[in-house]
Amino acid sequence: MFMVERMVEPIFKRLVIIGIGLIGSSITRGARAYGGIADKIVICDTSPAALARAEELGLGDEYTSDPAKAVAGADGVILCAPVGTYAALAQAIAPHLAPGCVLSDVGSTKQSVMQDITPFVPANVAFVPAHPIAGTEFSGPDAGLADLFRGRWSLLTPPAGTAEAAIVKIETMWKILGAQTARMDAAHHDRVIAIVSHLPHLIAFTICGTADDLAGETRGEVLQFAASGFRDFTRIAASDPVMWRDIFLNNKDALLEMFARFSEDAQAMARAVRKGDADYIEDKINRSRKIRKSLIDIKQA
């Protein structure tokens, strides 16, 4: 279903992955498993432990903690670190990017990423922001999965005027990894992702925080007798705190807009419960069931 015609030569001769967490390590595993992406993979991470573990796992061909050294001579660079680090990373690597290099990322916010990175991108380097909508609650080099992106979406938000050949390289990479791709405006991306990803995480963190604040025996019973609904929230809430802190702060306008709309809907549901408005409650539940069925039908569940 997601087959892509293999190129005679790999897309990149020297591909640099900066940040070897869940997404970065999944890209390297997928590149190894499916081929056609890179002749050589360079892994860069500021964490000595993560870098050492990546080398133990054989995720790359070269390993370094120095971003400037990593990108020297590379024709492809993908930022896989928390979005809050992007401005500093872009500033550090910009003078060392080779002409013709394609720079991309995997950040969950796109307007902030473009604002942080674009000012540093040399004129002879193409910047193709991307966001693979895939993940688990786990992090680190060991968390990576070669098939993490299979059947998922990777959204690209290339700035106006970006060379088509550069965009196609990043699209082809994601297709080889099993993802479907789409292009969209960065602002539109941030509003869409705020409701389908960022708001659910904010709610999950909040609900788990509420449970944690319950005192004594009640809190213990909440954990002991947790039903599947609460367990689903805890899975989401186990996600990397630094990554999600940065996402919330870097997409705050869209997130707060969606949170305000959600709050109004939650208050409406609370009023229906208070007044015993069974029709309103049932309608909301039925509409939610339809959304779930739609996700199953398009194999995104």
Structure tokens at 202: 């904010």
Task: Among 164, 184, 204, give the residue marking a domain's end.
Answer: 184
How sure is the predictor about 216, in pLDDT bands with cuts at 50, 70 and 90?
low
Under 8 Å CB-to-CB from 151, ≥6 apart: which residues? 1, 2, 178, 179, 180, 299, 300
| Domain span holding position 102 | 12-184
In the sheet with 126-128, reading across from the earlier edge strand, the strands are: 62-64, 38-44, 12-18, 76-79, 102-105, 126-128
Assess if residue 146 is contained within a domain: yes
Nearest to 38 by CA among 147, 169, 156: 169
For 34-87, how does the pLDDT look when each residue is reduced to its tens digit (9 = 90+)?
Answer: 999 999 999 999 999 999 999 999 999 999 999 999 999 999 999 999 999 999
CATH code of the domain containing 204: 1.10.3660.10
Assess if residue 3 is contained within a domain: no
Assess if residue 5 is contained within a domain: no
> Within this chain, do residues 174 and 233 fall inside the same structural domain, yes or no?
no
**Which of these ranges, 87-96, 162-171, 203-212, 213-222, has the smallest mean pLDDT?**
213-222
> Within this chain, do residues 36 and 174 fall inside the same structural domain, yes or no?
yes
Give the count of domains, the chain.
Answer: 2
> Within this chain, do residues 163 and 195 fall inside the same structural domain, yes or no?
no
Assess if residue 249 is contained within a domain: yes
> Within this chain, do residues 274 and 180 fall inside the same structural domain, yes or no?
no
> Within this chain, do residues 168 and 33 fall inside the same structural domain, yes or no?
yes
43: Cα separation from own chain's centroid = 18
Specify the higher pLDDT residue, 239 or 93.
93
